[in-house]
Structure 1
Amino acid sequence: MFTGIIETLGRVTNLKYELNNLHITIESSIANELKIDQSVAHNGVCLTVININDNCYTVTAIKETLDKTNIGRLEISNVINLERAMKLGDRLDGHIVQGHVDQTAECVHVEETQGSWLYTFNYDSLLNNITIEKGSITVNGVSLTVVNSKRDRFSVAIIPYTYEHTNFKTFKIGSIVNLEFDVIGKYVSRLNALKN
């Protein structure tokens, strides 16, 4: 379980395919604090640490993860958002995030608005995921509040701190991001669909 509050950034240093799996090595300031089998969210995707070497660690993404997220699009030197799993008793500063990405979205608009940034994303509404105005959404692992909610599109406003401390500063029109929709909203949507 995660909160969507990004702890630090990591940099991809190696990508190695083994059959349908992708082993990803990441350089990070938290690498020496990790342990084997620990869960870490990478752009919102929960992956298990399988190796640690000095200031780098390795995780493995299976085909299911590569098919449903932007992890398979990573390149050497890409910067990714990192968050370790929350501890019991910690404050929940963001919202309940499982680290299970629902789908990807495309950045279709970026606007600087005198001290903050407005990002707009399009997603495939045929997968029956929804946003609501002022509801929660996770974009590349970042817990955010939805503005301008539409059937297949939404926007988020990014404050300077989030811009500087996440990989939002690398997003441009056409960037593909991971989305995890609010878990409570997903259950409500599913119950609604079962009634109809």
Structure 2
Amino acid sequence: MFTGIIQATAKILRVVPYGGVRKVSIQRPAVFSELREGASIACDGICLTVTGFNQASFEVEVMAETLAKSTAGAWNTNTLLNLEPALKLGERLDGHWVQGHIDRVTKLLETSTKADTTRLRFSLDSRDRELLVLQGSIAVNGVSLTVSELGPSSFCVALISHTLKHTNLSQLVPGAAVNLEYDVLGKYIRALHQSSSLSLESLHEKGF
């Protein structure tokens, strides 16, 4: 489990195909002093397991399904990633609940800046429209953000200078692909609604 508060950014050192997976070696940030094999790290919002490490780098393996359903399939040497270690019990929850399971890859449509705020507009799949609400949470490349505008086919988030400085979102240009993870609460509510037989007609039949 993660919070969407990025601890560091780091570049990929190498990507090596290995059977149906890819082994990815990533620079080890100084703040990752408690790294261990088997630990979970969110890399651009994708929950991955540390399979090895040394003082300068750590390694993860990316499965074929993850490569197909996220931006990981396009990762190359020098790709800059947002990194967040798994949340520890008792730590502050400054963002929102993020699982590290990518729901959709979408593209940046446009950017605009006014004063110290940068707005990013992303394309929104019509199937996902009901998973977003104004002022609700969404993770973009693993970054916990608030939906500031919501339309039928796009949504906006507003970034302060701190977020731009400490994440890779500052490098995005129109057309760039990003990982999206919708709020898990919204996904559970939709699943319950879709599986429920409750309707006005059924309530009337039961005397309500």
Tell me how far 1:103 sits from its aligned partner.
1.0
| Offset from partner CA, 1:125-147 (integer Å, 9 cap, x none) | 33676211000000000001001
Tell me how far 1:171 sits from its aligned partner.
0.5
In 2, are the aligned partners of 1:32 and 1:54 still within 8 Å (CA)?
no
User: Residue 149 of structure 1 corresponds to which residue in structure 2?
Assistant: 150
Task: Say which SS state the counterpart of residue 184 (structure 1) adopts.
Answer: helix
User: Residue 120 of structure 1 corresponds to which residue in structure 2?
Assistant: 121
User: Residue 43 of structure 2 corresponds to which residue in structure 1?
Assistant: 42
In 1, are the aligned partners of 2:45 and 2:139 still within 8 Å (CA)?
yes
User: Residue 162 of structure 2 corresponds to which residue in structure 1?
Assistant: 161
User: Is 23-32 or 6-15 further displaced after alignment?
Assistant: 23-32
Gap regions ≥5 residues in structure 2: 198-208
Task: Say which SS state the counterpart of residue 127 (structure 2) adopts.
Answer: helix
**Counterpart of 1:179 in structure 2: which amino acid?**
L
| Offset from partner CA, 1:115-170 (integer Å, 9 cap, x none) | 11000111323367621100000000000100111233211000000000000111
User: Is 10-19 or 121-130 further displaced after alignment?
Assistant: 121-130
In 2, are the aligned partners of 1:104 and 1:123 still within 8 Å (CA)?
no
Q: Determine if the alignment matches structure 1 residue 136 to structure 2 residue 137.
A: yes
Residue 139 and residue 65 in structure 1: after superposition, are their counterparts in 2 closer, same or farther (change >3 A)? same
In 2, are the aligned partners of 1:32 and 1:55 still within 8 Å (CA)?
no
Task: Say which SS state the counterpart of residue 148 (structure 1) adopts.
Answer: strand
Q: Determine if the alignment matches structure 1 residue 25 to structure 2 residue 25.
A: yes
User: Residue 16 of structure 2 corresponds to which residue in structure 1?
Assistant: 16
In 1, are the aligned partners of 2:129 and 2:152 still within 8 Å (CA)?
no
Once residues 65 and 151 of structure 1 are traced to their aligned partners in structure 2, the CA distance between those partners, rounded to angstroms, is 27
Once residues 130 and 35 of structure 2 are traced to their aligned partners in structure 1, the CA distance between those partners, rounded to angstroms, is 33
User: Residue 69 of structure 2 corresponds to which residue in structure 1?
Assistant: 68
Once residues 91 and 130 of structure 2 are traced to their aligned partners in structure 1, the CA distance between those partners, rounded to angstroms, is 29
| Offset from partner CA, 1:33-85 (integer Å, 9 cap, x none) | 31110000000000000011221011001011111110111121111100000
Once residues 43 and 58 of structure 2 are traced to their aligned partners in structure 1, the CA distance between those partners, rounded to angstroms, is 12
**Counterpart of 1:111 in structure 2: which amino acid?**
S
Once residues 126 and 77 of structure 2 are traced to their aligned partners in structure 1, the CA distance between those partners, rounded to angstroms, is 31
Gap regions ≥5 residues in structure 1: none
User: Residue 3 of structure 1 corresponds to which residue in structure 2?
Assistant: 3
Once residues 31 and 23 of structure 1 are traced to their aligned partners in structure 2, the CA distance between those partners, rounded to angstroms, is 20
Kindly name which structure, 1 or 2, has the bigger radius of gyration based on alpha carbons. Answer: 2
Identity %: 37
Once residues 168 and 130 of structure 2 are traced to their aligned partners in structure 1, the CA distance between those partners, rounded to angstroms, is 24
Tell me how far 1:188 sits from its aligned partner.
1.0
In 1, are the aligned partners of 2:22 and 2:62 still within 8 Å (CA)?
yes
Q: CA RMSD in A?
A: 1.5
Once residues 25 and 141 of structure 1 are traced to their aligned partners in structure 2, the CA distance between those partners, rounded to angstroms, is 19
